[in-house]
């Protein structure tokens, strides 16, 4: 069973289960290496080149393995390679046809069942584009290649950084086995790498492996969705994926599949604000792996849900003008404890400089409410997906009040919205937007959730929006 963040035994039942699994594993055979390759001392060996340089194959002094398929390098103006780089075997911009790596023939005459093991890591964005893939296979006594793994854009995230072991290979009728690896990565900065290749005696009866999920967070009222995946890389057993202690309204159905299984956790309109712990399980006939996942619903803390982002503008035709945002709330509210964090949807981190400090006091424009406008440099609000996080910092506490995004949703990385999925505004601006227009809330109410986004339309910077009517909560009169 794994250890790490969130993986804790919380009940005597789970403690007993962990003990039983430990006994099961202690009785299982331990894999031993028959053949290994970690590319030590082989820096630069392989194929590399470009249109200007030509394609170079450098295998001098190498006897343990070979490379082929030089036509698989794109041969464009940039440098492409399929070789040992920084101590691992990397393939970047390997396209057109496949580039191949092949081990020497490994003696398996005294081994009945074997397995291939290696470490994976993606280069750049990994594998993207039609037909791009990374494959692992083998040949017994030089026969037909048998594939045991294909990695592409649909599954690369679960293999990135993984120490992988193949299914069991029956080699009882063979004397020699050759490990075969091929790649196609036709986009310039993308690719895949592998290291620490080994052929091992097979390790039977291993529990499934639940891919690490990690801490999750969502803004109050938003939607949290993430995939949960488990694999059985050794013996391909049927795996059952399930969860316990789901938050009210969250959905994660139990599902069963052979060798690998994935299901999606979904929680729409996540509420109430708080911290929840849900346990996800992967179970097969050989054991169980599980993870306790902490889910935080961040919302309108400290009674400040009545302060909200009311209007903003980020791009227009020609030179961008009057870029900024508006904060609305009750008259008399001092905004000096409030800060806007500007998040970049590309990667999820904050811009630098990444905050706009608020100031001033909200005036009374309509039924005890008003709005203040804050202009910012153009690079604080760019075309999206980007986001605005409204934060209150007071009395030693930092409370995230809102995390809105436009032109797409994303999960924040760092800052007070770290791990929170943005709530996307369903309107946007473009480079053709008329100068003097903005995106605005309209409708009737006295809190953010009462209104709806409209626009682009004529700005109302610094005052409540046209078509926005403040209605105070009704007073209930009891007549006896």
Q: Is the pLDDT of residue 462 over 70?
A: yes
The CA distance from 369 to 463, in Å, is 10
pLDDT in tens, 200-228: 987 666 789 999 988 787 777 778 899 99
pLDDT at position 186, please?
A: 79
- Whose CA is closest to 304, among 397, 414, 374, 409? 397
From residue 469, give the alpha-carbon distance in Å to each of 217, 303, 370, 462: 33, 22, 11, 15
- Give the tokens for residue 402: 């809102």
pLDDT in tens, 358-385: 999 999 999 999 999 999 988 778 898 9
pLDDT at position 274, please?
A: 73
pLDDT in tens, 153-183: 889 988 999 999 898 898 989 999 999 999 9
Question: Is-contact 400 423, C-beta < 8 A?
Answer: no
pLDDT in tens, 145-161: 999 999 998 899 889 99
Token match 């690369």: residue? 156
pLDDT band at 281 (very low <50, low <70, confident <90, very high): very high
Beta strands in 26-142 (DSSP E): 33-37, 46-50, 54-58, 65-68, 80-85, 88-92, 94-103, 106-107, 113-123, 133-140
- Give the tokens for residue 262: 């994935």
- Whose CA is closest to 299, among 369, 222, 226? 222
């Amino acid at each position: 069973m794994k250890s790490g963040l969130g993986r804790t035994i919380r009940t005597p039942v789970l403690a007993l289960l962990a003990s039983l699994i430990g006994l099961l594993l202690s009785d299982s055979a331990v894999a031993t290496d028959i053949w290994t390759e970690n590319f030590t001392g082989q820096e630069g060996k392989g194929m590399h080149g470009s249109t200007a340089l030509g394609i170079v194959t450098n295998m001098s002094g190498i006897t343990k393995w070979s490379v082929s398929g030089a036509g698989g390098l794109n041969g464009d103006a940039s440098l492409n390679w399929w070789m040992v780089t920084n101590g691992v075997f990397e393939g970047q911009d390997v396209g057109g046809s496949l580039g191949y790596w092949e081990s020497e023939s490994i003696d398996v005459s005294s081994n009945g069942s074997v397995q291939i093991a290696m470490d994976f890591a993606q280069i750049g964005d990994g594998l993207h584009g039609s037909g791009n893939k990374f494959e692992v296979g083998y040949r017994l006594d030089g026969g037909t290649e048998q594939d045991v793994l294909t990695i592409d854009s649909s599954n690369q995230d679960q293999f990135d950084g993984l120490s992988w072991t193949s299914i069991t290979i029956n080699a009882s009728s063979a004397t020699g086995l050759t490990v075969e690896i091929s790649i196609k990565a036709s986009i310039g900065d993308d690719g895949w790498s592998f290291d620490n290749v080994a052929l091992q005696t097979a390790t039977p009866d291993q529990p499934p492996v639940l891919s690490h999920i990690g801490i999750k967070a969502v803004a109050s009222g938003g939607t949290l969705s993430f995939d949960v995946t488990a694999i059985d890389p050794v013996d391909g057993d049927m795996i059952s994926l399930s969860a316990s202690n789901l938050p009210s309204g969250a959905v994660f159905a139990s599902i069963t599949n052979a060798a690998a299984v994935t299901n999606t956790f979904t929680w729409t309109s996540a509420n109430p604000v708080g911290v929840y712990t849900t346990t996800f399980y992967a179970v097969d006939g050989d054991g169980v792996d599980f993870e306790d996942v902490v889910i935080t619903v961040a919302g309108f803390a400290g009674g400040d849900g009545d302060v909200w982002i009311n209007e903003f503008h980020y791009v227009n035709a020609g030179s961008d003008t009057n870029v900024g945002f508006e904060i609305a709330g009750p008259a008399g509210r001092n905004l000096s404890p409030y800060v806007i964090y500007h998040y970049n949807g590309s990667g999820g981190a904050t811009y630098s400089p990444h905050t706009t400090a608020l100031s001033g006091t909200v005036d009374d424009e309509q039924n005890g409410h008003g709005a203040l406008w804050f202009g910012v440099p153009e690079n604080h609000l760019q075309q999206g997906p980007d986001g605005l996080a409204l934060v209150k910092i007071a009395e030693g506490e930092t409370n995230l009040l809102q995390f809105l995004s436009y032109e797409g949703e994303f999960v924040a990385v760092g800052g007070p919205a770290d791990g929170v999925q943005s709530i996307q505004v369903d309107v946007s601006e473009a480079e053709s937007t008329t100068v003097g227009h903005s995106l605005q809330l309209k409708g009737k109410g006295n809190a953010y959730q009462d209104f709806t986004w409209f626009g682009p339309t004529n700005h109302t910077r610094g005052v409540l929006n046209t078509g926005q009517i403040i209605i105070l909560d009704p007073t209930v009169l009891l007549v006896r």
